[in-house]
Amino acid sequence: MRLVQLSRHSIAFPSPEAALREPNGLLALGGDLSPARLLMAYQQGIFPWFSPGDPILWWSPDPRAVLWPEQFHLSRSMKRFHKSSPYRITLNHAFDRVIRSCADERDEGTWITESIILAYQQLHELGHAHSIEVWRGDELVGGMYGVAQGALFCGESMFSRAENASKTALLVFCQAFIGSGGRLLDCQVLNNHTASLGAVEIPRKTYLEHLSELRAMPLAERFWVPRVLFSPSA
């Protein structure tokens, strides 16, 4: 199998099954980060990931990391913390601040270049990319963002600047997502943090089957309208 060079004149992608085994999931390079191409990628289980100064690289790894939201692992310590949580959780209140905060995180953010930020801001303005914010008073202390595909949500990155902030974002989002018909979260590649929260690996073929089914399933009407998802108890 060989790496495919994408054309700027077509948004078509090769089949994810053509991705390289090493590095795992690398499928294509080039093209652009236009909303049409990004949406075409997500619809086929493909996402961009590349380092600053490199060409755009497109991936579809096998296996794929996913989180069934009802299987979110809530530890006893996290359960105690959340019971008296100091945080307020909002949806789509500060997308730009969330993605830029993710970019500032040393571990997660090396790939979130200015071109990525601008591309996902466009997706957000078009109603496809969304953010979850964690506030301590008026301070943004955590959050996450990703791309919606019907009843499947493709998580892109998260950040945390206070105790359990990103865990709280994911916990509260999972609860709201389930309640509105959400079925699956895409975590792309398994790491220690997502594994500790309940993420597992499934074959790429299985993920693509879920994607094909779930992207056609709508969430509850107005789910993505900006709102407060959780407020601390008085």
pLDDT tens profile 170-202: 999 999 999 999 999 999 999 999 999 999 999
pLDDT tens profile 143-177: 999 999 999 999 999 999 999 999 999 999 999 99
pLDDT tens profile 30-40: 999 999 999 99
Q: Residue holding tokens 């466009």?
A: 122
Domain match, 189 and 91 both = yes
Characterize the bridge pairing of strands 129-136 and 139-149.
antiparallel
Structural domain for 226, as ranges: 65-230
- Alpha-carbon span 158 to 151, nearest angstrom: 20
Domain match, 190 and 80 both = yes
Average pLDDT, the chain: 95
**pLDDT recorded at residue 2:** 80
DSSP codes of every residue in 102-140: HHHSTTTGGG--HHHHHHHHHHHHTTSEEEEEEEETTEE
Specify whether the CB–CB gap between 123 and 35 falls below 8 A.
yes
CATH number of the CATH domain containing 73:
3.40.630.70
User: Of the candidates 61, 80, 102, which is a domain's last residue?
Assistant: 61
Please state the domain count of the chain.
2
pLDDT at 234 over 70: no
pLDDT at 7 over 60: yes
CATH number of the CATH domain containing 51:
3.30.70.3550
pLDDT tens profile 71-87: 999 999 999 999 999 99
Domain match, 152 and 91 both = yes
